[in-house]
Structure 1
Amino acid sequence: MARRGRTAGISVLVIVGILVGLVIAAIVIIRRIPDHPPMPGEQRCVATAAGRSVAVDTEQVQNAAIIAGVSVRRGLAPRAASIALTTAYQESNLRNLDHGDRDSVGLFQQRPSMGWGSRKKLMNPVYATNRFYDALIKIHGWENADITRIAQQIQISGYPDAYRDHESDGRVLASVLTGQSPAGLRCLIRDRQPGDAAGLAKSLHRTYKISPKRSATVITISARSGQRAWSYAQYALADAREHGVTSVQVGGRRYVISKQKLTSWQTADRAIGRHTVRITVR
């Protein structure tokens, strides 16, 4: 009986080991798929606007924040960011790819041979985004036209209707990251990178052409509107993993990043100016 019990125990352990191995293998395979949605517990951000939510990983949200932030800096209508984000979703899944069809590269899979710029420049997300907006604003009526039609007019894709699959997600990210939807971004970040206030300040300057005040661990921005304040704040949250951000505050709302779960924006213990953004790094 004892031998039979030991045999049964060993069999259970073998089965458990096989199941664990299969789960790990499945996770590895899924994570190798470029466009996989973030898995439960995976480092990610969730954008919510008008009752709809979109989950993106930390690489995607950084790139999305740049695309939206450049539109804010240029003073474009938020619809510009919706069009750009929808396009980048389809072209690269919001990843700064160093490869693509023929000589296509970057977020928008722009081709040096088609006059978009050098390969090196197109791998710079700010440059690539500005080139996209340069083309967008030349199209008459882009502010009200169908997003997929405008995206195709710029990109001249072999799949002209594919952009439509990403319109809803593009709109949500644009609404949140341009600041139209305050407190719309939440992030789960497990990494504990050292705080880099100088690096984050440079990132904000590259995208928005602003010069935040900073100390060793705190960045302060005085925005000229509430919408811009929320765009800056949610940009910093999107950059949290890279620069060791621990909390972001706008006016009386504060977000504290957790490595355990997606937390919510809370009422701050002490409010700051309505258009003031305070970012704290580790």
Structure 2
Amino acid sequence: MQRRFSRDVITIVVIVTVLAVAITAGVFVLINRFTTFTEATEGCRITTPDGSLDLEIEQAQIAAVIAGVAHRRKLPERAVVIAYATGIQESKLENISYGDRDSLGVFQQRPSQGWGTPEQLLDPVYATGKFFSALVKVKNYRKIPLHEAAQEVQRSADGSLYAQHEDNAKILAAAFTGRVPRAVHCWFSPEGDEKTPAPAPAPDEARRELARNLGSGTTLDVSSRKRGWLIATWSLAHAQKYGLRRVRYDGHAWNVTAGEEGGWQADAEASRERVQLS
């Protein structure tokens, strides 16, 4: 009798154990699926006549900063293309806090080589300014092959690698400089979640950072359509960071509630003289 009871108990224990493992595995799969789905609900898409690219929002923010610094310095689009190709190769256009030896940031600049302090090099505005300061000293940088110009600045182990990113860099430059209107669209959840709650709308903070990026005299009033789209694109790329819900300019508006398929929609009340943030 005791022996039969022990077998019954063992059988029950085995069944419970198998069920527990199965349930745990199922929950794990569901969590993975949910995580994947969540990660896919934000991003940016760049679309120009030369092609389309998908970026993470951080990459779009870096791209907007690079275009903004170039605009402030009155540099040609070729300089922006070279900077993008370099940034893609060095960091995938991410502001990373590590690298080969003491390399840091978007362009993997080294404090020990005189580029700046670690804190400065992790500021994309500063790092981009240092890159352009070196680039404009390169003789004929507008005309020589892209990888040669980039290598004169970076002095990397294999400068030929920059060339492979030229086509994508041209797509980004056309979009973020404002030359191609409505070329950048980003989407994300306005509600956020427990880990990343949505920030309160901060258009004033966005304006201050925009002024630091493009120059101390920057306002949302625009003197040309290209400049207007540069500002509108910068604002859209930073919308998640500053909690912006809507960007309006030039007869069109971007709204966070429209999601991935929304893009820029016609808005007859959107001004051609001023970028509107809310």
Task: Kindly state the Cα deviation for residue 271 of structure 1 after the two structures are TM-superposed.
Answer: 3.8
Task: Kindly state the Cα deviation for residue 258 of structure 1 after the two structures are TM-superposed.
Answer: 2.9
Match of 1:250 in 2: 249
- Poorly superposed stretches of 4+, deviation over 4 Å: 17-20, 22-28, 210-213
SS of the aligned residue for 1:84 comes to helix
Q: Could you list the runs of 5+ residues in structure 1 that have no partner in the other structure?
A: 1-6, 32-37, 214-220
Match of 1:236 in 2: 235
Distance 2:26 2:187 in 1: 27
CA RMSD of aligned residues (A): 2.6
Contact preservation (8 Å) 1:186, 1:262: no
Higher strand share: 1
Quote the sequence identity (%).
33
Is 1:183 the counterpart of 2:182 in the alignment? yes
Match of 1:217 in 2: none
Task: Kindly state the Cα deviation for residue 174 of structure 1 after the two structures are TM-superposed.
Answer: 1.4
Distance 1:76 1:211 in 2: 17
Aligned mate of 1:199, from 202, 205, 211: 205
Aligned mate of 2:28, from 16, 21, 25: 21
Task: Kindly state the Cα deviation for residue 127 of structure 1 after the two structures are TM-superposed.
Answer: 0.9
After superposition, the C-alpha distances for 1:22-78 in whole angstroms (9 at most, x for unaligned) are 5755897xx8xxxxxx99833111111124111111111111111111001111101
Contact preservation (8 Å) 2:252, 2:268: no
Distance 1:53 1:19 in 2: 37
- TM, length-normalised to structure 2: 0.83
Q: Which amino acid aligns with 2:247?
A: V
After superposition, the C-alpha distances for 1:59-118 in whole angstroms (9 at most, x for unaligned) are 111111111110011111011111111111111111111111011111100011112122
Match of 2:214 in 1: 208
> What is the total number of aligned residue pairs between the two structures?
254
C-alpha change, 1:210 and 1:278, in structure 2 (3 Å) is: farther
Distance 2:120 2:269 in 1: 43
C-alpha change, 1:23 and 1:83, in structure 2 (3 Å) is: farther
Higher helix share: 2
C-alpha change, 1:275 and 1:141, in structure 2 (3 Å) is: farther
Q: Could you list the runs of 5+ residues in structure 2 that have no partner in the other structure?
A: 1-14, 193-197
After superposition, the C-alpha distances for 1:155-195 in whole angstroms (9 at most, x for unaligned) are 11113222223222221111111101100011111133210
Task: Kindly state the Cα deviation for residue 262 of structure 1 after the two structures are TM-superposed.
Answer: 3.3
- TM, length-normalised to structure 1: 0.81
C-alpha change, 1:139 and 1:123, in structure 2 (3 Å) is: same
Superposition pairs of residues 1-282 of structure 1, within 5 angstroms: 14=22, 18=25, 21-22=28-29, 24-25=31-32, 41-190=40-189, 191=192, 192-211=198-217, 221-258=220-257, 260-272=259-271, 274-280=272-278
Distance 1:19 1:147 in 2: 51
Q: Quick check: which has more Rg, 1 or 2?
A: 2
Q: Which amino acid aligns with 2:251?
A: G
Contact preservation (8 Å) 1:70, 1:130: yes
